[in-house]
Amino acid sequence: MSQCVEPIVGKILAGWRYDISGLAPEMRGDYEQHFADCEHCRGRQKLHRIIDISLIALASVSAAVFLLAFAVIRHFGPRHAFLLEVGALGGFALSALIWLIVAIATPAPMAVVDAAKLGARHVHDRLPAEIRERLPEDLRMKITGS
Pick from 130, 126, 4, 93: which is nearest to 144 by CA? 126
110-122 average pLDDT score: 78
Percent of the chain surpassing pLDDT 90: 29
Distance between CA 46 and CA 41 in Å, rounded? Answer: 9
H/E segment holding residue 119? helix 108-126
Does residue 20 carry a pLDDT above 70? yes
So what's the pLDDT on residue 107?
Answer: 78
So what's the pLDDT on residue 11?
Answer: 86
Domain boundary assignment for the chain? 107-146
128-146 average pLDDT score: 81
Contact 66, 95 (CB under 8 A): yes
Does residue 4 carry a pLDDT above 70? yes
Does residue 100 carry a pLDDT above 80? yes
Does residue 146 carry a pLDDT above 70? no
Distance between CA 81 and CA 139 in Å, rounded? Answer: 51
pLDDT (tens digit, 9 = 90+) per residue, 35-81? 888 898 888 888 888 898 899 999 999 999 999 999 999 999 888 88
The model's pTM is: 0.69
Contact 20, 32 (CB under 8 A): yes
